[in-house]
Copies of this chain bind each other. A is one copy, B any other.
Amino acid sequence: MANIYDVGRLAGVSRSTVSRVLNNKGEVDAKTAERVWTAVKSLNYHPNASARALVRHKTDMIGVLLGDITDPYYQKLIQGLESVTRPLNVGVVYYNIYQDFANRKTGILAVINSGKVDGLMIVGSRLDERTIVLELLDCGMPIALVERDLSGIKVSSVLSDNQLGSRLAVEYLKGLGHTRIGCITGDLHWQTAIERFAGFNDAMARHRLPLPESHIVTGNGAHESGYLGMKRFLALTPQPTAVFACNDMMALGAVQAANESGYSVPEDISVLGYDDLVFAPLFYPQLTTVRQPFFQMGAIAALALIDQIATGKQAAILKKVLPVELVERKSCRALGNV
């Protein structure tokens, strides 16, 4: 593996000059530069990343903290964030929390303090993990939060408008003629879930739609809890005519429960999801759902983080709330001709 010294020797210049042309810094004679480049090419030279990181105090890597990278929930978010990191040549390392933030804290701190990454993106986190996030923030490392807000703290965060999303859902369903609407919430330890549920309650009240307690099931975001929620609704008399599942995973569970019980969606009961995961349109019936702009969120957060890294630690403060939209597909139907 050739190093910068070899290149210099082959090009007949000093290492400093090689470094200059490689990094486009300082004035270098065009002829010399060319000689250097040909040497670089012929030696198939690539600067050693560790050496460079050591002297620059910068690794061109960012870390991403998330629950589990294999969760479909993160698909578009990752695509969005990589869409900005790739062209900038910054690498990304994913750290799976597996919903065990507290126990993984030391590992994360080690990563941060060992200088493996220049900044950290934290996607989601439970409400009770506030202090952990604050500790991370304390390290002086640039940080960007996604789907999580830290009231009173100066930190970049990008969110989507969950309250709006739930309102759109309710209004869409109401527009279709539904009045008995059930809701399966997410895990209420999460900011996102709380906001969606609040938005739902709010919209139901505003539109004077009845909301008996039996029409609310506290889920946890998992497929099974959607399944169970739907079973409960199906046992009611009268049944809700529509179910708002606070994420797509639960919506799938709900659809499965309905099917198994001999009901079909949307003929017998409508199901509305939230997130618009990649597979939402691949399902039968294709899921009508509230689309969260994951791709943008990932991209914006990455941009904010990289900007902080470039300009100095935790300099740029931004709170960005993105709008959401309802994507109409096939899992809800208009009432009226029942």
Interface size (A, Cβ < 8 Å)? 47
* Stretch of A30-38, A148-156, A276-284, A303-311 with 4 or more beta carbons under 8 angstroms from chain B: A276-284
Asked whether A82 is an interface residue with its Cβ less than 8 Å from the other chain, the reply is yes
Q: In the bound complex, how far is the Cα of B46 from the Cα of A116, in angstroms? A: 11
The reply to whether B59 and A69 contact each other, CB–CB distance below 8 Å, is no
The reply to whether B54 and A51 contact each other, CB–CB distance below 8 Å, is yes
**Which B residues lie within 8 Å of A255 (CB)?**
284
**Which B residues lie within 8 Å of A48 (CB)?**
54, 114-115
Interface residue ranges of A184-224 to B (CB < 8 Å): 223
The reply to whether B260 and A223 contact each other, CB–CB distance below 8 Å, is no
**Which B residues lie within 8 Å of A74 (CB)?**
70
Q: In the bound complex, how far is the Cα of B53 from the Cα of A20, in angstroms? A: 24
The reply to whether A256 and B279 contact each other, CB–CB distance below 8 Å, is no
Asked whether A296 is an interface residue with its Cβ less than 8 Å from the other chain, the reply is no
**Which B residues lie within 8 Å of A44 (CB)?**
109, 113
Interface centre among A45, A93, A96, A282 (most CB of B within 10 A): A282
CB closest residue in chain B, given A44: B113
**Which B residues lie within 8 Å of A235 (CB)?**
none
Q: In the bound complex, how far is the Cα of B58 from the Cα of A48, in angstroms? A: 11
Q: In the bound complex, how far is the Cα of B113 from the Cα of A286, in angstroms? A: 46
Interface residue ranges of A106-130 to B (CB < 8 Å): 109-110, 113-116
Interface residue ranges of A25-69 to B (CB < 8 Å): 44-51, 53-54, 59, 69
